[in-house]
Amino acid sequence: MKNILKIQELDAQIRKIKASIDNSRENKLLAEFTKVMKEGRNFVNNIAEVSNEIIKEFNEINKKFDLLNAKSDITLKLKPETAGIDSVGKLIDDSNYLTSELAILEQRMRELTERGSRLLNDYNTAMNKLKDTKSKCDALKDMLAKKKEAVHPEITNLQAQIKKLEGDVDEKLYEKYKSMLKDNIFPVFVHLKSNRCGGCQMEQSLNFIQKLKQKGMLPCEECRRIILADEIK
Ligand SMILES: [Zn+2]
């Protein structure tokens, strides 16, 4: 039992070191910048979609231009003197219609061009921001890698100490300890503190405490941690 508790102490030290990196300013910034990168990529993808729509609309307008041009060619070829006076009225109507349609198309084209240039502007801004954020992320990753490298010998040393202690432990209890670590329960062994579980602070019944005194250790019914009886007076 003593050795398992020592192992738990060493594991606590390892976890503390790892947590100090996980909770470091660099790691938090990296998470933030990674989120910004993701948003930036979505934004750029969205721009790509919108620009496809603009291209489609642009092609559509071009097609209409061609159609109107073809129509106006025909209208021009119909000379008033050969077409007869009856056709002149229709010719003027056609001509007015074509002119107004062309004006509408021109307006749409102008709007489309403006939208396109705004989009390009947004795209360039977003790409610059992405590039900037990426280099910040890379720098942070470098810093974190160095931090991890710096604590590596310490962790290796602690792990070696654990390895040594593992040779002399109650195997069944140690298996239990390891399986609870896997479930992210830590610490696994706790003491009773003012009749409460030292892990989850759940108050224990007198009946439970009585049984605990007899058995030496009992799992907490609330958090499954193993409560040790050794400090009960
Ligand atoms: Zn508990």
pLDDT in tens, 79-132: 656 666 767 777 788 888 888 988 999 999 999 999 999 999 999 999 999 999
Average pLDDT on 188-197 reads 93
Number of domains in the chain: 2
User: Is residue 40 a part of any domain in this protein?
Assistant: yes
List residues bridging with 218 in a β-sheet: 227
CA pair distance 130, 116, nearest whole angstrom = 21
Distance in Å, CA 203 to ligand 1 centroid: 8
Please indicate, yes or no, whether residues 142 and 31 belong to a single structural domain of this protein. yes
Please indicate, yes or no, whether residues 84 and 143 belong to a single structural domain of this protein. yes
Distance in Å, CA 162 to ligand 1 centroid: 25
Q: For the sheet containing 196-197, what is the strand order?
A: 196-197, 189-193, 226-228, 217-219
Query: Which of 173, 180, 181 shows the shortest CA–CA distance to 224?
Result: 180
Query: Which of 198, 196, 195 shows the shortest CA–CA distance to 185?
Result: 198
Distance in Å, CA 201 to ligand 1 centroid: 6
Please indicate, yes or no, whether residues 139 and 31 belong to a single structural domain of this protein. yes
pLDDT at 216: 92
User: Is residue 10 a part of any domain in this protein?
Assistant: no
CA pair distance 155, 79, nearest whole angstrom = 95
* Residue 50, pLDDT above cutoff 50: yes
pLDDT at 82: 64
Please indicate, yes or no, whether residues 84 and 195 belong to a single structural domain of this protein. no
Please indicate, yes or no, whether residues 57 and 144 belong to a single structural domain of this protein. yes
pLDDT at 231: 61
Please indicate, yes or no, whether residues 34 and 77 belong to a single structural domain of this protein. yes
Instruction: Answer yes or no: are the C-beta atoms of 10 and 158 closer than 8 Å.
Output: yes
User: Is residue 1 a part of any domain in this protein?
Assistant: no
> Could you tell me the residue range of the domain that residue 137 belongs to?
24-153
The last residue of a domain, from among 153, 181, 211: 153
The last residue of a domain, from among 99, 126, 153: 153
Q: Is the dihedral of CA 5, 6, 12, 14 positive or negative?
A: negative
* Residue 24, pLDDT above cutoff 90: yes
Please indicate, yes or no, whether residues 136 and 184 belong to a single structural domain of this protein. no
Distance in Å, CA 12 to ligand 1 centroid: 18
Distance in Å, CA 223 to ligand 1 centroid: 4
Please indicate, yes or no, whether residues 149 and 37 belong to a single structural domain of this protein. yes
User: Is residue 136 a part of any domain in this protein?
Assistant: yes
Distance in Å, CA 191 to ligand 1 centroid: 10
Average pLDDT on 29-34 reads 96
Distance in Å, CA 24 to ligand 1 centroid: 29
Please indicate, yes or no, whether residues 149 and 176 belong to a single structural domain of this protein. no
Distance in Å, CA 119 to ligand 1 centroid: 57
Environment of ion ligand 1 (residues, CB < 5 A): 197, 199-200, 202, 220, 222-223, 225
Distance in Å, CA 90 to ligand 1 centroid: 93
User: Is residue 11 a part of any domain in this protein?
Assistant: no
pLDDT at 232: 53
User: Is residue 206 a part of any domain in this protein?
Assistant: yes
User: Is residue 97 a part of any domain in this protein?
Assistant: yes
* Residue 233, pLDDT above cutoff 50: no
